[in-house]
Amino acid sequence: MTERHTRILSPGVEMPLLGFGTYLIPDAEATSAVREALRAGYRHIDTAEVYQNERGVGEALRQAIAAGEVTRRELFITTKLWPGNAAWGQTPKTTATTIASLHESLARLQLDFVDLYLIHAPFDREQRLAQWRGLIELKAQGKARAIGVSNFNVSHIEELEAAGLPMPEANQIELHPWSQKPALVRELTRRGITAIAYSSLVPLSTWRVAPGHNSAKTEQMRAEGQRADSPFKAMAARYGVSEAQVLLRWGIQKGYPVLPKSTQPQRMRQNADLFSFTLDAADMATIETMDRGDGVAWNAGDPTRAA
């Protein structure tokens, strides 16, 4: 039986399981990076208002479409609303400014619509429902084919449910073997909400080592990834793949769309090769024992870690 390479978000909307993440790619570098990703076979591109690289991403899409390398129909584009956080001196978005924000993102992306629009974080309790109503209206306008949230927990989802509002079609959250969030994933599944994985490569020693790429990952965690007896090194050797491919493949087998990011063409192609091998049941069971609870990439109190 042929393995599916997509995940159905809602009737008529399918998201490729393989996506290309653009967090921490500067706008000036985003065009070349996304063009290279498209050449490597990626058709799902993930960006956000707060990444400040929508213009570069949009220019890559325009160039690729103009050159006949891809069609808009083949692409799946996600961007995210920055909701504003009063605790950081920002003005939280209202329903009206939420709608305006996507229109501004579309102008930067040079697109008529996005395939998925997400609320990036559940910062302001008073405005969450207003922002979600804005996304519902944007979907009705045809500006977003599907809508969802990011970094929401069960109580935030229940808040939408209690207000009698439609459920999100996706929740983009930190998911990897060290942060598996089984209770949250179980609740999302029960409600028909797709869990999308970001920061899949946290267990690697090389994850976010560049200056300014902040996270809550400790030096002890980083040292674990450098050990010769790392379980991911052993698995990678058995399958003849990279450790990154093992981590990404775990997400794929769990049914999560994944969003690897790289600016190196060879690494992009390697990360895209996720359907030529399968982790066996024993390895999947071993990984199930590695969960450490909360992740390290996202911290709602730190604006520099908005993954």
Catalytic residues: 51
Q: Residue 35 in contact with residue 64, Cβ under 8 Å? A: yes
b/e map of 62-90 (b: 16 or more CB within 10 Å)?
ebbbeeeeeeeeebbbbbbbbbbbeeeee
Other CB atoms within a 10 A radius of the CB of residue 222 amount to 16
From the centroid of its chain, how far is CA 229?
Answer: 29
Structure tokens at 182: 């089984």
Are residues 256 and 146 in contact, defined by beta-carbon separation less than 8 angstroms?
no
Q: Which helix (H) or strand (E) holds 149?
A: strand 144-150
Task: Spell out the SS3 assignment of 6-25.
Answer: EEEEECCEEEECECEECCCC
CA 62 to chain centre: 22
Q: Which of 38, 23, 60, 40 is nearest to 270 (CA)?
A: 40
Question: How many C-beta neighbours within 10 Å does residue 190 have?
Answer: 8
Rg (C-alpha) for the chain, rounded Å, is 19
Q: Residue 213 annotated as binding? A: no
- Bridge-based pairing state of the strands 13-16 and 170-174: unpaired
Nearest CA to 36 out of 22, 17, 24 is that of 22
199 close to 176: Cβ distance less than 8 angstroms: yes
Sequence ranges of the binding site for substrate: 120
